[in-house]
Amino acid sequence: MSDRNARQEFLGNDSDEILASCRVGIIGLGGGGSHIAQQLAHLGGGTFVLVDPDKVEDHNLNRLVGATAEDAERGTAKVAVLRRLIKGINPGAKVNCIRNRWQEEPLGLRDCDVLFGCVDSYGARNELERIARRFLIPYIDIGMDVTPGENGYVISGQVILSMPGELCLWCVGFLTEGLLAEEAARYGAAGGRPQVVWPNGVLASTAVGNFVQLITPWHDPQRSTTYLEYDGNAHTLLPSNRLRYVEGKRCKHFSSSTDLGDPFWGQ
Amino acid sequence: MKVEFKIPTGLVHEIRTDLARPHAYAAERVGFIHCRVAAIRDGIIVIGEGYRPVEDEDYLDDATVGAMIGAGAIRKALQFAYQNRVSMFHIHMHEHSGRPWFSRVDLRENAKFVPDFWNVRPEFPHGALVLSLDSFNGLCWVPDQQKPFRISKFSIVGAPLRIIRL
């Protein structure tokens, strides 16, 4: 255990080595993904694959950890901002930047040990989980939303760990055909969704906690699926009732062996 | 070329349970993992999909080695690879902790029979794995490559997620 990480010794004598050997993909470097990248750098994460096609703009500065007014003025790529942040905290980290949509660079994420999905749409989450299942990668999804309510606005969100072979986003009811269809119908008309820094931070921190518990667990029992619902008005993050109804059941959505690996291998 | 191997925790448990079963005359058991494959930027990932134990009657009574399997076992594995379009990895277990490696006999026999899988599935890599009580090691024969590659990383995917870099 290095001096640097002495305060996290409870994660195990070999936790430095485990974290340093881990290759983590973060898809979406907005309010959530930037928090995750920063925290993983502090923890001693070894290899990062950062994916985001966008540059920093003024309207990102309310939540994008590591971004400066100068970045917005210059239009610095988000992946470059996070690379700078990670290397500043942990100079030994390897940072692979994909300034593109992840779908355009299909080989980039396959050898990641864990994927963090910090994307805006249900469709993107669906695609990411499919990739994660196909290449046997645990997938941690975070997201937040703000909607008008009776007495003002309602802040909500979720952190879900989707483990290959276990319950998926469909099983726990987070993804449905109806939601995808509704989203597809709204395509192009969604506009910018409300995002603020503190729920991003709560959700990202919880996702990082899920990750650390997964690779260098500090307590029992281990859970292979988690679904936590955030109530940003009550300031609580609680296990979803939806998960309780399906716990112990098998995933029916990714049970075929042909769902694994490269479907076109050798053709 | 980098070769990484991923396998679900549940499948590892199934394999360990099978390999630990005593046999009437063989000192150890062996089996085959059928796998899917994917390209990565600097190599390949092999993904363990399922396990096929060698049946009791397919072991030969040979006291000079831990386990000797007959032509029937190989034939069944070849047939499975052909019919299901999969990569095949032979697996056996050494009863010790720490990083395992193949015996001289293992290496000799692997080099003989693993490339036979290219007769039925030439497009796939095939290989051999050795398991210890807490670790893995392995070799992978990749199409169009002369020598087998050592597998550089094993990921046992579940909760906890275990990564073994070699």
- Distance between CA atoms of B135 and A229, rounded to whole angstroms? 37
Q: What percent of chain A has pLDDT over 70?
A: 97
- Domains detected in chain A: 3-255 (3.40.50.720)
pLDDT of residue A189: 55
Mean pLDDT along residues A13-27: 95
**Structure confidence by residue, pLDDT tens digits, A54-71:** 999 999 999 999 999 999
Which of A107, A214, A217 is the closest to B41 by Cβ?
A: A107
Chain centre distance of CA A108: 16
Q: What percent of chain A has pLDDT over 90?
A: 83
Mean pLDDT along residues A137-143: 97
- Distance between CA atoms of A31 and A52, rounded to whole angstroms? 12
Q: Do A257 and B36 touch (CB under 8 A)?
A: yes
The number of residues in chain B equals 166
**A127 — pLDDT class (breaks 50, 70, 90):** very high
A108 touching chain B per CB within 8 A: yes
pLDDT of residue B70: 83
Instruction: Indicate which of A161, A219, A262 best probes the interface with B, i.e. most B CBs within 10 Å of its own CB.
Output: A262
Bridge partner residues of A24 (DSSP):
A48, A114
**A32 — pLDDT class (breaks 50, 70, 90):** very high
Closest A-chain CA to B40: A107
- Distance between CA atoms of A238 and B85, rounded to whole angstroms? 44
Instruction: Provide, as residue numbers in chain A, all residues whose Cβ is less than 8 Å from the Cβ of B163.
Output: 18, 21-22, 113, 215
Q: Do B41 and A257 touch (CB under 8 A)?
A: no
**Cα→Cα distances A157→A7, A219, A228, A231, Å:** 30, 25, 8, 7
pLDDT of residue A187: 67
**Structure confidence by residue, pLDDT tens digits, A213-228:** 999 999 998 889 999 9
Question: How high is the mean pLDDT of chain A?
Answer: 93
Supply φ then ψ for residue A7, to 5 degrees: -75, -10
Domain layout of chain B by residue ranges: 2-165
- Report domain B2-165's class: alpha beta
> What ipTM was reported for this prediction?
0.94
Supply φ then ψ for residue A127, to 5 degrees: -65, -40
pLDDT of residue A99: 97
Element at B109 (helix H, strand E): helix B104-113
Which of B7, B50, B159 is the closest to A222 by Cβ?
A: B159
Instruction: Provide, as residue numbers in chain B, all residues whose Cβ is less than 8 Å from the Cβ of A22.
Output: 163
Cis peptide before B160 (omega within 30 of 0): yes
Nearest to A125 by CA among A156, A152, A157: A157
Q: What is the pLDDT along chain B (166 residues), one digit of tens a residue?
A: 999 999 999 999 999 999 999 888 888 899 999 999 999 999 999 999 999 999 988 898 887 877 788 889 999 999 999 999 999 999 999 999 999 999 999 999 999 999 999 999 999 999 999 999 999 999 999 999 989 999 999 999 999 999 999 8
More reliable by pLDDT, B27 or A212: A212
pLDDT of residue A263: 87
Q: Do A111 and B40 touch (CB under 8 A)?
A: yes
More reliable by pLDDT, A39 or A254: A39
Given a contact cutoff of 8 angstroms between Cβ atoms, the answer to whether A50 and A98 are in contact is: yes
Which residue type, as a one-letter code, is found at position B28?
E
Which of B7, B155, B160 is the closest to A217 by Cβ?
A: B160
What's the start-to-end Cα distance of chain B, in Å?
Answer: 14
Nearest to A64 by CA among A117, A72, A49: A72
A215 touching chain B per CB within 8 A: yes
What's the start-to-end Cα distance of chain A, in Å?
Answer: 47
- Distance between CA atoms of A119 and A168, rounded to whole angstroms? 17
Instruction: Provide, as residue numbers in chain A, all residues whose Cβ is less than 8 Å from the Cβ of B85.
Output: 266
- Distance between CA atoms of B30 and B9, rounded to whole angstroms? 19
